[in-house]
Structure 1
Amino acid sequence: MPKISAPTVAEHRRRQREALLAAAIELLVHGGVSAVTPAAVGAAAGLARPSFYQYFDSGAGILAAIIEDSFPRSNALLAIALDGLTEPLDVMDAYVRETLRQATEGAHRPAAALSAAQLPDECRARLAELHHEQIAPFMGALQQLGVPDLMITARLLGGVLEAAMGAIESNADSDAVTRSTIALVHAAVQPAGSLHP
């Protein structure tokens, strides 16, 4: 029996799986989907290639696990940040703040790398489903505000958020980026001359 490095076999397996996931995320972010192979992930995690297959059946399997790991964690943090908020502008402000706070921690990198990749159809479908869940509060706030051209406005503001995350990744001051992003969101969704109290 292989030596375990945890108090229990279950804990050992959990740690091994987390090590493989962390290694796969690093490979994905820095080398793209093609870098996420069983051999490369196992080597990066310090495990033999056969050990990889005790946890994942293929490279596609670990990509699916990255999707399932990244989004729910991010969405749970967003839910906490939005808890109790009902005014649409308050929801949007909190959404922007939390999204950009996560960006300062690099939490968006796996999702960004996955979005740009050629994924198996089932992974792409699940990614779209989880992304839809993630943006639902922002979309709901836009609907509450009754903005014209809802989908166009949503896509444009999504571009603003992407640009803000890129600025933070390029070491721009996160507080300044957050303030500017919120100001742009307000300008896009409020009638000219109105101000958020």
Structure 2
Amino acid sequence: MPKISAPTVAEHRVRQRSALLEAATELLVSGGVNAVTPAAVGAAAGLARPSVYQYFSSGADILAAVIEDAFPRANARLALALDAVSGPAERLDEYVRVTLLLANEGAHRPAAALAAAQLPKECLARLDELHREQTAPFMQALQELGVPELLITAQLLGGVLEAAMAAVESGASVDTVTERTLALVHMATA
């Protein structure tokens, strides 16, 4: 019988699953979607491949779990920050700040790796759904501000935000990037 490393079997399973998701995320970010196999994830987490199948049925199942793990945490953090401010201009500014802080912490790396991957249709649909949920406050703030050509303006500002996240992830100062990004957003929404 395998040893459990927690006070209860349930806690042990939660810890094992968490370790597998963490390993899968690191493999995804460093090696792409093809690096996320049950054998590789198990090895990275210090578990035998057969143990991985107690938690996930396939590599695709692991990727689906990574999607379900990464986005909701970032979305919850955004929602909490946005609940603390009022007015569309303040929400837009806070959205930019928190998004860039999350990028600085590496929270967007799994999403970027997943977006570049050839995923099963179900995973892509869920990824799109979670991304829409994540960008909804951004879109709502722009709409409430009455920006002209809402969809085009949102796409353009989204591109600015993507470039800002890339700059932060490449080592640029999060404070400097945030300041410059907010200046551009303010010009576009004035």
Q: Taking structure 2 as the reference length, what is the TM-score of the superposition?
A: 0.98
Structure 1, unmatched stretches of 5+, are 191-197
The CA deviation string for residues 159-197 of structure 1, in whole angstroms up to 9 with x for no partner, is 11111111111111110100100110011111xxxxxxx
- Answer yes or no: is 1:143 the counterpart of 2:143: yes
CA displacement at 1:125 relative to structure 2 = 0.2
Equivalent residue number for residue 15 of structure 1: 15
Equivalent residue number for residue 189 of structure 2: 189
Equivalent residue number for residue 34 of structure 2: 34
* Counterpart AA for 1:37: T
1:16-165 to structure 2, matched below 5 A, reads 16-165=16-165
The CA deviation string for residues 137-160 of structure 1, in whole angstroms up to 9 with x for no partner, is 010011111112111111111111
* Counterpart AA for 1:158: G
Equivalent residue number for residue 193 of structure 1: none
Structure 2, unmatched stretches of 5+, are none
- Between the aligned partners of 1:185 and 1:172, the Cα distance in structure 2 is 19
- Between the aligned partners of 1:119 and 1:66, the Cα distance in structure 2 is 12
* Counterpart AA for 1:146: G
Percent identical residues: 74
- Between the aligned partners of 1:154 and 1:119, the Cα distance in structure 2 is 26
* Counterpart AA for 2:169: E
* Counterpart AA for 1:164: A
Q: Secondary structure at the match of 2:176?
A: helix
Q: Taking structure 1 as the reference length, what is the TM-score of the superposition?
A: 0.94
- Between the aligned partners of 1:105 and 1:22, the Cα distance in structure 2 is 15
* Counterpart AA for 1:86: S
* Counterpart AA for 1:4: I
CA displacement at 1:128 relative to structure 2 = 0.3
- Between the aligned partners of 1:90 and 1:152, the Cα distance in structure 2 is 21
- Between the aligned partners of 1:130 and 1:170, the Cα distance in structure 2 is 25
- Between the aligned partners of 2:136 and 2:86, the Cα distance in structure 1 is 14
CA displacement at 1:85 relative to structure 2 = 2.8
CA displacement at 1:84 relative to structure 2 = 4.2
User: What count of residue pairs does the alignment treat as equivalent?
Assistant: 190
- Between the aligned partners of 2:115 and 2:19, the Cα distance in structure 1 is 23
Q: Structure 1 residue runs of 4+, over 4 Å off?
A: none
- RMSD across aligned positions (CA): 0.8
